[in-house]
Homo-oligomer: A and B are copies of this chain.
Amino acid sequence: MPPGGDWYTEEWAGQGSAISLKLARKLHDEQSPYQRIEIFETATFGRLMTLDGLVMVTDRDNFVYHEMMSHPALYTHDRPRRLLIIGGGDCGTLREVLKHDEVEHVDQVELDERVTRVSEQFFPELCAANTDARAHLHFQDGIRWVKEVAPASYDVIIVDSTDPVGPAAGLFGPAFYADCHRALKPEGLIVGQSESPLFHVDLIQAMHTHLRAADFLDVATLSFPQCTYPSGWWSATLARKDATLAGFREEDCRDRPFATRYYNDGIHRAAFAAPEFLFKALL
């Protein structure tokens, strides 16, 4: 029997399972042109943002996701200067990448400006870098942005998207990856969130296939715990143009001039270890 009282529950689509967070009160509720945005104060996870009823971010556990979407890619690249974030409306990924002094310019292309404005209000710490002169916020369709941007514009592209349904579905497809390949400089990297290793192996397999078809030389998936996402276990898939993903700037990572809570050099190496079932699925 589900818990009584005032709880937020997300049923994990098609997985016969659900997570619930105990609520203190609702802080915000709006229908943007794209989706319903709700903010809650929870009992033990701090603030919670949901989009169309799905958990996007909580104060308590977002650090793992945002660090793992940012630092492994940036420390793999020799000198990440120009970055593109697709999605990322809560701005937590933007904050992480701007901790890297090498980064000179970040375009963040989020479809729904309201997600960012609401985040600025309710998750000010995630949005602390929004006023950084290197951050350029654009509110438009990321798929179109990548199609139209000049070739070799970026060192790293981060696809910090919602699930591969609705407007985000195109962010997991071959045409989008081909455009990303074109938009990346030589030895450029793309990293995209790639759902749960327990629930969505098919999606991870498809991403590998599509990324290789788009001429990326190397593709690899890393994983990390993420309590409030489906199955509590999440992944990101990286691909690199003209170079492998093996190795990273270990010394820079160990000497990083900023604090992390999940990521470090040991975690960097560890995150890429594939569980046996995933290793076999990706052969």
Interface centre among A4, A18, A269 (most CB of B within 10 A): A18
Contact indicator B223/A232 (Cβ below 8 Å): no
Specify how many copies of this chain sit in the oligomer: 2
Interface window among A7-15, A87-95, A147-155, A185-193: A7-15
Contact indicator B262/A273 (Cβ below 8 Å): no
A270 adjacent to chain B (CB < 8 Å):
yes
Kindly state the interface size class of chain A when it binds its partner.
35 or more
CB contacts (< 8 Å) of A262 on chain B: these are: 275-277
Closest chain-B Cβ to A139's Cβ sits at a distance in Å of 31
A217 adjacent to chain B (CB < 8 Å):
no
Q: A233 contacts which of B9, B43, B225, B273 (Cβ < 8 Å)?
A: B225
Interface centre among A1, A11, A16, A198 (most CB of B within 10 A): A16
Closest chain-B Cβ to A254's Cβ sits at a distance in Å of 11
Q: A271 contacts which of B19, B233, B270 (Cβ < 8 Å)?
A: B270
Contact indicator B22/A20 (Cβ below 8 Å): no
A108 adjacent to chain B (CB < 8 Å):
no
Q: A14 — nearest CB in chain B belongs to which residue? A: B44
CB contacts (< 8 Å) of A269 on chain B: these are: 269-270, 273
A227 adjacent to chain B (CB < 8 Å):
yes
A 193-233 to B, binary, CB cutoff 8 A, 1 in contact else 0: 00001100000000000000000000000010111100111
Bound complex: CA A22 to CA B18 (Å): 8
Bound complex: CA A274 to CA B271 (Å): 11
Binding site for B on A (CB under 8 A): 1-4, 7-9, 11, 14-22, 42-45, 61, 64, 197-198, 223, 225-228, 231-233, 260-264, 266-267, 269-277, 279
